[in-house]
Amino acid sequence: MSEVKTPPVRAQHIPDKAAFHIGGVGQVPGSFRIGEPDDDGERYFWYCCPCGCGSIAPLTVGEGFKPADGPSWTWNGSFDAPELTPSVHHRGHWHGWLRNGEWVSC
């Protein structure tokens, strides 16, 4: 599958773990859930690919900071208008940014 460009997709927070994962409402393109922070304040930011493929993947994020280990992102801490830095590359599916609560293709 080649990467697709989509119109902006609204990020929808799904707080319930069971509802988010496969078979639940988490398969809505652009939906996400945030795991609890670990001892270093890092969290998993689970998201459903904005391209519409239904693939769910985790990102390692820090609220207001970028974790030092491995690929990681800074999350602004918002559930209503989340932002991630840098861009998100869901290889083979979609590449873009999560800005002001919208997934925007690059």
- Report the C-alpha gap between 61 and 2 in whole angstroms: 26
The whole-model pTM stands at: 0.91
- Report the C-alpha gap between 57 and 65 in whole angstroms: 20
* R_g (Cα) of the chain, nearest Å: 13
SS3 72: coil
Give the per-residue pLDDT at 38.
95
Average pLDDT of each block of 10 consecutive residues along the chain (106 residues)? Answer: 84 88 75 95 95 92 95 97 96 93 96
